[in-house]
Homo-oligomer: A and B are copies of this chain.
Amino acid sequence: MEPIRKAALVKATIVEIGRAGSLDVTVSQIAKRAGMSSALAHHYFGAKEDMFLAAMRHILSLYGAEVRGALAAAGEGPEARLHAIVRASFSPGNFRREAVGAWLNFYVLAQTVPEARRLLAVYQRRLRSNLLACLRPLVAGRAETVAASLGALIDGVYLREALKEGQPDSAAAVAAVVDFVAAELGKTQTK
């Protein structure tokens, strides 16, 4: 039972954060959505914060899996692999209300909860390392710098696309980042 209940709670936590748009969700709401009493939620997770952290781990692992899958499906060319990472980062699923809510609130959580900050750092390192592998063959010496900027650009574009009025547009987000890469590769042509 334990793993089933925990998984249900994690999913419900993410949904509720998405609905509320904040971490201001009660354990009862989460438990109810997961089909159990609040007491049971407390039984499996000690405290509410533990639920948040588990939810964060889940979101990050989903994203990680998405990127891994995209890379596996992509061919061998560095450009193609780079493109795959970017597309995975901006997949429509990542712009669903729950996902946006989760990410934004995890940023907030990372300010004060060390474990949340650590998890975020892990995500950023993984993204960076994936980007580096693609970039080294393309820009050699400047790979480190470009990877750092590219990572930040992905976060920034995501933020803007997620918060703009109107529906987010995955394709536009991808295009913006691809354009940056093109510039870094020295081709001014947007293609």
B-binding residues in A (CB < 8 A): 20-24, 100-101, 104-105, 107-108, 110-112, 117, 120-121, 124, 142, 145, 148-149, 151-157, 159-160, 163-165, 176-177, 179-180, 183-184, 186, 188, 190
CB neighbours of A184 from chain B (8 A):
180, 183
Number of chain copies forming the complex: 2
CA distance A40 to B151 in the complex (A): 46
Q: If A152-B153, A152-B176, A176-B149 touch, does A163 touch B107 (CB 8 Å cutoff)?
A: yes
Residues in B whose Cβ lies below 8 Å from that of A145: 176, 179, 190
Are A112 and B155 in touch, CB under 8 angstroms? no
A48 to B185, CA, bound (A): 49
- Asked if residues B111 and A100 are in contact (CB atoms below 8 Å), the reply is yes
Are the CB atoms of B149 and A180 closer together than 8 Å? yes
Inter-subunit contact B21/A163 (CB<8 Å)? no
Please name the 9 residue pairs, one residue from A and one from B, whose CB atoms are nearest each other, closest first: A156-B156, A21-B112, A152-B156, A21-B111, A155-B156, A152-B157, A183-B184, A153-B153, A183-B183
Quote the shortest CB–CB distance from A183 to chain B (angstroms). 5
